[in-house]
Structure 1
Amino acid sequence: TLTSSYTSPTNAPFTTAESIPAPPTPLDAASKAKYLAALRASVSSAQDKINRELTARMEEDKKREEAAGLKHTVDDEKEEENYGEEVQGEEE
């Protein structure tokens, strides 16, 4: 089973779980390919669920900030555009 857990001081926690079949034995090339395809599908499904949950929590954070009279300072469009990319001139 592939599991992930999320906790935060300001948002509700969540856990995801994806079943992954045990690799068959003996593991010939065809069996290995089938197992890896199932593993890849499980990981992709988990990523989709995690992304949906995190996006919902980001929206909750924005609403909470707005309700408190705070200005949302993150440019969401820019963040989305640069997601996973190294931005030149940005200090870590």
Structure 2
Amino acid sequence: MKQWSLKKLKHFFVAVVGITILIIGIAMIVLPGPAIVVIPLALGILATEFAWARRLLHMVQERIQRSGTNTKNNNGQNHRDKSF
């Protein structure tokens, strides 16, 4: 039997945990639950080991930042959200 190095074991563990949480988060899109929190959490876990997850996480972060700064007030005028 082949010996698994500690690095490969960590890579495997992160993949299993991250993908499991990601699947749960995707299911929460149609089921009750905080999908908007769980999906970025899963991507954050996967981003520690996978470049594709890191890129996807950055895309999600940019989209969240853009949606928060381009809100409109009651008069229909754009204003910057200063709650952060």
TM score, norm. by length of structure 1: 0.34
Which structure is higher in helix share? 2
- Larger Rg over CA atoms: 1
Which structure is higher in strand share? 1
TM score, norm. by length of structure 2: 0.37
